[in-house]
Structure 1
Amino acid sequence: MYRFLLTRQWVILTLVALLMIPALTWLGFWQFDRHGQRVERNDLIAGSLAAPAVPMSELSSPGAPVDPDDRYRPVTATGVYDQDREVVVRQRSNDDGAVGYYVLTPLLREDGTAAMVNRGWIAAGNDLTRMPEVPAPPGGEVTVTGRLMADESTGTTGIRERQGLPDGMVMMISSEERADALGTQVLGGYLELTATDPAPADEAAQPELLPEPDHTGIGAHFAYAVQWWLFAAGVPVGWVLLLRREVQDRRRAAAKPHSAPGAERENEEEQAPRKAAPAATS
C-alpha cells in the first residue's frame, strides 16, 4: 500500500519537506535574535539617556573609537565654534521625511583639541551642488550638551562615499576625516547637540535639533519568529495530510467492482430478446 512513497513524486516531496523544516526553524531563530538585539539596543539607549552628563573627554579621546556601551550618553564640551571650517552632511532627513543636511561644526577646546558638534538639521536648497545657507553658531565660548555618538561608516549608514563633492560637503560624520581636514586632534565620535549655554540669541534661526532616538518600539521580529516556527511545524502536518489523502484515494480505487468479460456477454444476450420483442408484435 505504501510503495508509492518510493515514486519520484513522493521522494521529491519528502526531501523538500525535510529541507524546509530546518530552514524555517532557522529563520525563526534569526528573527528571534533580531528581537533580542532590538530589546538590548532599547535598554542601552534608555540607560544611556538617563545617565548624568559628563565631559566628552571622559568618554572619548583623539583617534580612538567611541565605546559602543557609551553611545547616547549625555556629554558636555566647552570651547569656541570654528564656523569657517564647518561642513554639512548630505542626504539626511528630519522627522517629517524632508531631505536636507546635518550641520557639523568643530568646537575648539582650550587644550587645543576639537570636538565635532552636530548642530542639527537644515533643509536642502534648490541647488544641491552649492553650499546651503547655514545659520551661524553662537559666538564666543559656549558649553554644549548633547548625546555622544560613534563615527559613521558605510556599514552603519548604508551611504557610500562620493568623489567630487562641493567644498564644505561630506557624506558621513568621521572624526578622523575631520581631524585630517582641520590639522588638529579631534575627540573620537561626535556630540549630537541638545542644548547650548549661553543659549543663542535667536534659537528659532538655529538648525533643527535632532530628536531622541526611539527606544520604545521593538518591531515585529518576535511575531515573525513565531510565524516561521508555525510554518516549520506545519510542514510535517501537511505531509501527513497529503499521505492520508493519497492512501484513501488508492483504497477507494482498489475497492471499486470490476465486471468480468463473461458477465458482460450474458447481459448483452439478456437484452437482445427485449429489443426484438416490439418488432414481433407489429
Structure 2
Amino acid sequence: MSEAPASGVPWKRWLALLALVVVLTVAFVNLAQWQLRRLDERRGTNTTVVNHEGAPVQPYEAVFNHPITDADAWQRVTVTGTFLADQQLIVRYRNNGEAAGYEVVVPLKATDGRTVLIDRGFVTRPAGQDFPTTVDAPPPGQVTVVGHVRRNEQGPANATTPASGSVRLINSDAIGAASGLTLVNGYIGALQVTPPQTGFEPVSTPPLDEGPHLSYALQWASFAIIAIVGLFVFIRNDIRDRKKAAAKAARRAAASASEPSA
C-alpha cells in the first residue's frame, strides 16, 4: 500500500505555538523595560550623589523638615545633640563595599528638641563569628555629627521592627514605634562624630556606575527577538517538511499506479 500524503495544515499546533511565543515575548519585553527603568533610577542616583557630595554641609533642620525621599539622600548635614545610648540597636547582615558585617544605630536628642536616628557606621564581622549582642556605647555628653541624609529602608515588619537589641533594616518610623520615641523621618549615616568614636567605618556611597542593567535589557530584548524568529523558522520548516512528505507520497503513488497489475 502507498503512504497517504500529509494531511491538512496544522493550524492548531501553529496557533498554540504562536500563543506561547506571544506570552514569552510580552514577558521578555516587560523584563527589558524593567531593566531600563532600573538603569534610569541608577543614573538618577548617581546624579544625586555627585550633586550632593559637591554641595556644602547643611544644618540637619534644613533637610529633615519633611519625609525623606531619594532626592534628599546623600546630602551632607550636621546635627548637635546627645546620644540616647540605652536605645542603641545592631543592624545585622550589612555590606560596605566588599566587606560583610553590621551597622549600629542610635537615636540622638538634637538641640532643637527633636530626636533623629544616627547610623554610627559599619563594623566588619570576622568570618565564622556571630553578630555581637552588645557594642561600645556612643560618646557621652553633647556631640556633633556630620553625615549623609538617608531615606528609610523598606521591608516587611519582621525586618524593620527591632527584636532583642537588633534589627535587619533601618526604618526610623518602625524603630520609633517599637521604642516609644518620636523620631524624625529618615536617618543620618555618620561620617564624622565629635568627640570622636572608634571602631566604625562610614558607610560608602553607592558606586558611580550604571551596573549591568543595560546589558540585561539587551539580553531580554534579544530573547524576545529569538522567540519571534524561532516561530517563523519553525513554521517555515514545518511547511517545507510537509511539502517534501507530500511530494514523496505523490511519487510513490505514481510509481504504484504505473506498475502492471498482476
Shorter-normalised TM-score: what interval?
0.7 to 0.9
In structure 1, C-alpha distance between the alignment counterparts of 2:161 and 2:58, rounded to whole Å: 35
The one of 196, 207, 213 equivalent to 2:206 is: 213
Identity %: 29
Bigger mean CA offset, 143-152 vs 185-194? 185-194
Cα distance, 1:265 vs structure 2: 6.0
Give yes or no for contact 1:136–1:206 (8 Å, CA) kept in 2: no
Cα distance, 1:221 vs structure 2: 1.8
Bigger mean CA offset, 42-51 vs 144-153? 42-51
1:228 counterpart = 2:232:
no
Give yes or no for contact 2:99–2:124 (8 Å, CA) kept in 1: no
Tell me what 2:100 maps to: 98
Unmatched 5+ residue regions in structure 2? Answer: none
Bigger mean CA offset, 30-39 vs 84-93? 84-93
With the length of structure 1 as denominator, give the TM-score of the two structures: 0.73
Tell me what 1:240 maps to: 232
- The superposition leaves residues 42-64 of structure 1 with CA deviations (integer Å, 9 ceiling, x where unpaired) of 22222222221101111114xx5
Letter in 1 for 2:169: M
Give yes or no for contact 2:6–2:246 (8 Å, CA) kept in 1: no
Give yes or no for contact 1:5–1:11 (8 Å, CA) kept in 2: no
In structure 2, C-alpha distance between the alignment counterparts of 1:15 and 1:181, rounded to whole Å: 51
| Residues 65-144 of structure 1: pairs in structure 2 closer than 5 A | 65-99=67-101, 101-122=102-123, 131-132=133-134, 134-144=135-145
Cα 1:90/1:240, change in 2 over 3 Å: closer
* Higher strand fraction (1 or 2): 2
In structure 2, C-alpha distance between the alignment counterparts of 1:179 and 1:212, rounded to whole Å: 25
1:186 counterpart = 2:183:
yes
Across the aligned residues of Structure 1 and Structure 2, the Cα RMSD in angstroms comes to: 3.3
Q: Which entry has the higher C-alpha Rg, 1 or 2?
A: 1
Bigger mean CA offset, 221-230 vs 50-59? 221-230
Unmatched 5+ residue regions in structure 1? Answer: 267-282
Cα distance, 1:33 vs structure 2: 1.9
Tell me what 2:192 maps to: 195
Q: Structure 1 stretches (4+) deviating beyond 6 angstroms? A: none
In structure 2, C-alpha distance between the alignment counterparts of 1:184 and 1:242, rounded to whole Å: 66
* Higher helix fraction (1 or 2): 1
Cα distance, 1:147 vs structure 2: 0.2
Give yes or no for contact 2:148–2:189 (8 Å, CA) kept in 1: yes
- The superposition leaves residues 26-55 of structure 1 with CA deviations (integer Å, 9 ceiling, x where unpaired) of 332222222222222222222222221101
